[in-house]
Amino acid sequence: MKKIDGYTLARLVNLTLALINAALVMFDKSPLPFVEEDVEEFVMLLWLVFSSCLAYWYNNNHTENAQKAQEFKKQLDQGEVDFKGPKVVQEESEINVDNSDNPNEGLGGGRVD
């Protein structure tokens, strides 16, 4: 691993703190300085749901290869790189597939198993 993105680290810390907070509430400790238990549990629940959604939603690239692929994708999306990759299909097939851009012609990109 080269380095972890700052946003990835922030989401990890936020989720860790939310989980610690949930554990403290389970053991009747008061991690938040609210007197009302209902308000405390509600805030804790919102924090946990928000942190879980962020951790689930974002694509976290932890390996060096994933970080390189993400950087290449950014360059490709911005038009900085012109990629002409190898043919995906290496062997001949008896099935004819129409890969044209017009969805009203031919098979129109259907899946062939």
pLDDT, tens digit, for every residue of 37-70?
Answer: 777 788 888 899 898 888 877 767 777 888 888 8
Taking the whole predicted model, whether its pTM rises above 0.75 is answered as: no
Give, for 21, the enclosing helix (H) or strand (E): helix 6-26
CB 98 within 8 A of CB 108: yes
pLDDT, tens digit, for every residue of 4-17?
Answer: 788 888 888 888 88
Task: Indicate whether 36 pLDDT > 80.
Answer: no
CB 67 within 8 A of CB 73: no
Residue 73 pLDDT: 87
pLDDT, tens digit, for every residue of 55-112?
Answer: 877 767 777 888 888 888 888 888 888 777 766 656 776 777 666 665 555 544 555 5
Give, for 38, the enclosing helix (H) or strand (E): helix 37-57
Residue 84 pLDDT: 75
Residue 54 pLDDT: 81
Which distant-in-sequence residues (6+ apart) come within 8 Å of 81 by Cβ? 72, 75
Residue 33 pLDDT: 59
Record the tokens describing residue 96, joined without a space.
Answer: 């004819």
